């Protein structure tokens, strides 16, 4: 290999990697490799199962490269262009991907233990079914990322931008989403047991059937979010924004919503037994068929609210504004009405 590396053709450069191995490649790579179009289109599947442990591909153009199931442990991929790369089930343990572009890359099932992603572009990446427990994604830009069925227990997403990402059926136990942007994310059937969502923005998020048991949503924004059938037992909702939120069929027994602005909220079919809604703003709220037995609605604003078929047995509505509210077929036995009379 006495030839000047700058005179080598692309195919010759590729043959160095494939015939001389990683050591040969690393000896001959240099600045001339910057922006090299590494993978010829006609060899789309060439690198399947290749051993590239500790290879130096820093700054190389690897657009659409197929490294499926390759061994890339300890690889130097800093600044590499891996747009739409296939890294499915690749071993990237301790690889350095700082500053790399992984836009729309497929890393499903990849091993990322110890992988460095500082400043990495990750929009549209597929991390489905990947073990990312305790991974640090804090402050990263992760829009449209697919985390479906991924293991993200104790992962750190603090202040990350996750707009429109998918976490369907993901394991997010004890994950940290403090001040994260989760607008329009899909968290359907995700396990968020004891997750920290303090000050997170979940506007338009879909959390249908998710587990939020003991989760912290203090000061979070859930405006227009969809939480139908969510487990909210022992969930901290203090100072959470819930305007036009869908909490249909949720268990909210004995929750304290005193003074909350719940304008346009959907609480139909919800269990609100013993809930405290004193002074709450429930203008245009949907409470149809909800269980509000023993609830405190003292001085609540129920202007135009739907309370049809609602169980208000022994509820306290003293001083409440029920102007324009629909109370058709509501159960009012033992309830204290706005004027102080008891049914």
pLDDT digits (tens), the chain, 343 positions: 444 444 444 455 556 666 666 665 665 554 334 434 444 444 444 556 778 899 888 888 888 888 899 999 999 999 999 999 999 999 999 999 999 999 999 999 999 999 999 899 999 999 999 999 999 999 999 999 999 999 999 999 999 999 999 999 999 999 999 999 999 999 999 999 999 999 999 999 999 999 999 999 999 999 999 999 888 888 999 999 999 999 999 999 999 999 999 999 999 999 999 999 999 999 999 999 999 999 999 999 999 999 999 999 999 999 999 999 999 999 999 999 999 988 8
Strand, helix or coil for residue 25: helix
What H or E segment, with its residue span, contains residue 341? none
Evaluated on CA atoms 52, 53, 55, 57, the torsion sign reads: positive
Listing DSSP states for 141-166 in one string gives B-TT-B-TT-B-TT-B-TT-B-TT-B
Q: Is residue 18 part of a domain?
A: yes
If you count them, how many residues does the chain have?
343
284/298 Cα distance (integer angstroms): 17
Could you tell me the pTM of the whole model?
0.85
Beta bridge pairs of residue 86: 66, 106
Residue 131 DSSP symbol: B
141/64 Cα distance (integer angstroms): 21
Q: Is residue 279 part of a domain?
A: no
Report residue 112 as tokens. Answer: 């990322």
Total of domains in the chain: 1
Burial (CB count within 10 angstroms: exposed 0-12, middle 13-18, buried 19+), residue 9 = exposed
Residue 24 confidence (pLDDT): 59
Q: Is residue 120 part of a domain?
A: no
Q: Is residue 75 part of a domain?
A: no
Q: Is residue 206 part of a domain?
A: no
Q: Is residue 174 part of a domain?
A: no
Q: Is residue 166 part of a domain?
A: no
297/140 Cα distance (integer angstroms): 43
Nearest to 127 by CA among 165, 76, 154, 96: 165
Q: Is residue 29 part of a domain?
A: yes
Report residue 167 as tokens. Answer: 């976490």
Domain housing 30: 5-43
């Amino acid at each position: 290999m006495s030839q000047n590396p700058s005179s080598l053709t692309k195919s010759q450069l590729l043959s160095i990697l494939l015939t001389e191995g990683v050591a040969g490649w690393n000896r001959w790579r240099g600045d001339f490799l910057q922006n090299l179009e590494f993978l010829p289109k006609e060899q789309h599947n060439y690198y399947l199962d290749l051993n590239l442990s500790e290879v130096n591909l820093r700054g190389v153009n690897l657009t659409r490269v197929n490294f499926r199931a390759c061994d890339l442990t300890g690889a130097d991929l800093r600044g590499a262009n891996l747009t739409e790369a296939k890294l499915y089930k690749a071993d990237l343990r301790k690889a350095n991907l700082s500053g790399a572009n992984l836009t729309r890359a497929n890393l499903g099932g990849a091993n990322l233990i110890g992988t460095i992603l500082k400043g990495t572009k990750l929009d549209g990446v597929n991390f489905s079914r990947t073990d990312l427990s305790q991974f640090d994604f804090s402050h990263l830009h992760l829009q449209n990322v697919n985390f479906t069925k991924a293991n993200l227990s104790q992962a750190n997403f603090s202040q990350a931008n996750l707009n429109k990402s998918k976490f369907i059926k993901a394991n997010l136990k004890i994950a940290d989403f403090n001040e994260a942007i989760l607008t329009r994310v899909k968290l359907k059937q995700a396990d968020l047991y004891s997750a920290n969502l303090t000050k997170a923005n979940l506007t338009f998020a879909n959390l249908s059937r998710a587990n939020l048991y003991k989760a912290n949503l203090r000061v979070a924004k859930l405006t227009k979010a969809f939480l139908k059938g969510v487990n909210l037992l022992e969930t901290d909702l203090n100072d959470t924004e819930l305007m036009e939120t869908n909490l249909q069929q949720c268990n909210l027994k004995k929750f304290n919503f005193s003074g909350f602005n719940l304008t346009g909220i959907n609480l139909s079919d919800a269990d609100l037994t013993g809930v405290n809604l004193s002074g709450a703003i429930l203008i245009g709220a949907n409470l149809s068929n909800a269980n509000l037995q023993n609830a405190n609605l003292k001085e609540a604003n129920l202007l135009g609210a739907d309370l049809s078929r609602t169980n208000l047995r022994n509820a306290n509505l003293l001083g409440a504004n029920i102007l324009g509210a629909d109370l058709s077929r509501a159960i009012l036995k033992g309830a204290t009405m706005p004027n102080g009379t008891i049914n």
